[in-house]
Chain A
């Protein structure tokens, strides 16, 4: 076998090897989509129980106070449709009080999602106003707290 044949045979074998290598580093591509839909939701932002605190009330005198309650909700959804209180008022320290809450919350926009970052929540703040009417003596032996609930529908 002369040198030319040896070289030729080497080239043929090398081409087979190259072809095999080419097949391993050139895979077929198949694109796919990642999909999801949102079931919008709102949750409270409070880690402890909020308080509508009148503090020390002078008997027979009127007093008002307020508390803010905030929900964080899915970004860009339509927003809460309504808000309600479990009761319009109650009795605390022997004093009758009333409450009200505005139907239109103060909204703080979150951030839209990007290809790199998730969206952040929109916030909705409700202010509950409480009032104790004048002319009430109160009761030093009565309970000094009353449980209530604020509910939003969306």
Chain B
């Protein structure tokens, strides 16, 4: 009986020693970081959205420079394009409604084709940004 008790005490002490020897765990650590970005290009950038008959530009950017659209749309910045339609005035290309994520829309709101004595009326111009 005495031997059994001594063995139990020894095993208990051994278990305690092993438990104390293990590194205790439980905690957390955090690191704060920042996400940063800027818009490239002077005053942002634009793209042509043929399906919307519009040019989209970076919100707050410089917008489209130069000639106004008369009809049709360019396929990329600086492209000359040929369209058919009616020139509605110097502000046919207007700095338009905001759509999507921060996009300013330069909309070609007038795309009405007209027919003159020679057939379709064609205009040719350039849009740039």
Contact = CB atoms under 8 A, between A and B. Distances in A.
A40 B35 CA distance: 30
Interface string B25-47: 11111111111111111011111
A92 B21 CA distance: 48
Interface stretch (A3-11, A22-30, A51-59): A51-59
Contacts of A95: 37, 39, 101-102
A122 B87 CA distance: 71
B117 to A, nearest CB: 42
B102 A57 contact: no
Contacts of A58: 40-41, 45
A108 B25 CA distance: 19
A146 to B, nearest CB: 4
A22 to B, nearest CB: 39
Nearest to A71: B29
Point out which of A74, A90, A135 has the most chain B C-beta atoms below 10 A from its C-beta: A135
Nearest to A81: B25
Contacts of B26: 154
17 contacts: A40-B24, A49-B32, A49-B33, A50-B31, A54-B35, A57-B40, A58-B41, A58-B45, A59-B40, A77-B23, A90-B35, A136-B103, A137-B103, A138-B58, A149-B31, A150-B30, A150-B31
